[in-house]
Chain A
């Protein structure tokens, strides 16, 4: 079992729709969860982080965390073609408290079509 699992996609959504990206993780002690966006040929960019169960909203983005189910999701409302990218879910394992070791999933490719 991979430590962080994501559906590779592509997830294709029409412009203006809600895109829902999902991620599961295996380390039950993980405390911090991140979503990074990576455009083709570019480096990852942090877009959201969440530490507590529930929802966290930032503009068009909402991160959702359910620690009991070991599940993290990212919702993108009013999707735009500029949102087309690979979205990487990352988890900070419990044992990495002293340093920035993140476990990344392989990413979900999102394609927003006009």
Chain B
């Protein structure tokens, strides 16, 4: 186990709704990044938070947004859900930007 916890583990939404996913990072890790993994694909970088600010973003539209709190936990918010948003959403914590990521178990989102 990595010490990174995510909630909820599974959820079902309908198109157009909004969703919030939560992540608690491993103790001592001050950086949180979020990835989307579609079925049969590798994870895709959404964004990263450090010191409560977004400091890097992948090719995702603005309806994907996030927060990081003083205790380093984080949220991923997705507005106006689309069918293609159905995926496993992975939170990863780390110390610095070495690329050595410790993933949580993920939140599996299904959009109907």
B97, A34: Cβ atoms under 8 Å? no
Distance in angstroms between the alpha carbons of A17 and B35 in the assembled complex? 33
Among the 9-residue stretches B12-20, B48-56, B62-70, B79-87, the one with 4 or more Cβ atoms under 8 Å from chain A is B48-56
* Residues 83-114 of A contacting B (Cβ, < 8 Å): 88, 90, 92, 96-107
In the complex with contacts A42-B105, A43-B90, A43-B105, A99-B42 CB distance below 8 A = no
Task: Point out the residue from B2, B40, B56, B103 that lies within 8 Å of A101, measured CB to CB.
Answer: B56
Distance in angstroms between the alpha carbons of A92 and B99 in the assembled complex? 7
B102, A100: Cβ atoms under 8 Å? no
A44, B97: Cβ atoms under 8 Å? no
Interface size of A by CB at 8 A reads 24
* Residues 95-112 of B contacting A (Cβ, < 8 Å): 97-106
Contact with B along A23-59 (1 / 0, CB 8 A): 0000000001010000000111110010000000000
The residue on B at minimum CB distance from A45 is B103
Task: Point out the residue from A88, A100, A103 that lies within 8 Å of B48, measured CB to CB.
Answer: A100
A46, B48: Cβ atoms under 8 Å? no
Chain B CB within 10 Å, residue with most, of A97, A98, A101, A104? A101
Instruction: Indicate if B73 sits at the interface (CB-CB under 8 A).
Output: no
B103, A43: Cβ atoms under 8 Å? yes
- Chain B positions within 8 Å of A, measured between CB atoms, are 2, 31, 33, 40-45, 48, 50, 55-56, 58, 88, 90, 92, 94, 97-106
